[in-house]
Amino acid sequence: MKSRTFFLLVIGWLLAILTSQAQDFQLIDSIGFGPITQVSIDRQNHIYMANEAGEINKYDTDGKLLVTFSPTKPATITLLEAWQGIRVFVYYNDFQEYLLLDRFLTPTQPIKLAAELAFAKLTTLAADDNIWVIDEADYSLKKWDAVQRRILVETPFSFLSQFPELEVNYIREYQNLLFIIDYQSGVLVFDNLGNYLKTMDYKNLTYLNFSGDQMYFLNNQHLQLVNIYNGELLEISLPMKDKFNQALLTRNRLILIADHYFKIYLRTE
């Protein structure tokens, strides 16, 4: 009897955290651009696509091209983050510098990282206007004040014994939490002071996006949405057979990105 009760409890728990939602998708447009290397979306649901030369196109949710940024020195963008909308963050690993673009994609002067940041593998904009840095030279997470040119927070990854070696490929601050993708370990979550909180067990990811209290990503023919606070998982089945690499989500749009094009779908429940 105890074994049967335990089995039913486990099944109930699995059903509670893993749900599937059917949705209908209607293709709005298919747009050629690429090779696509970085994508992002802002609070107004504008879509940003970057190619290998560092050119960035900004589209509306129907696929209309609004504006283009063409860099003075072509280079592959390491990280593109448009969430704030009024400022688009563009980081170049090769140059160890970043740009801030306004809503018309007009750039500031490139901002060089400080010498004390020996080699910043990844950087992103923090909510307090400072810069989060993954410093590969001393294997640490840092928050850097670009105005006063000083390090505010430093968390050596070597202090986290469960991560003897990280293969980091994405970083993003969202809702006062910092999310770092490690290809082998999963999604590492830190608070806004750089303190490690937990690891979400989703391995082999190369990107994340966020909507409300959920992070989302593609997994085979499914869009998986995971609540960042309680871990509840929602799966949306995708009928498309194309080989898509990433997804962007709005209230009524699904944008699926391949190597040389992206498709915009109207989605209804």
- Is 128 strand, coil or helix? coil
Domain assignments of the chain as residue spans, ordered by start: 18-268
**What average pLDDT does this structure show over 120-130?**
94
Contact 246, 253 (CB under 8 A): no
Architecture of the domain spanning 18-268? 6 Propeller (2.120)
Distance CA 199, CA 183 (A): 12
The whole-model pTM stands at 0.88
Average confidence (pLDDT) over 36-55 = 96
Q: How far is the C-alpha of 111 from the C-alpha of 93, rounded, in Å?
A: 12
CA distances from 76 to 24, 37, 56, 103, 245 (A): 35, 8, 11, 21, 18
Place of tokens 């009928």: 239
pLDDT in tens, 131-165: 999 998 888 999 999 889 899 999 988 777 666 67
Query: Over 90: is that where the pLDDT of 21 sits?
Result: no
Q: How confident is the model at residue 184 (pLDDT cuts 50, 70, 90)?
A: confident
- Give the pLDDT confidence of 203-231 residue by residue, as tens digits: 999 999 999 999 999 988 899 999 999 99
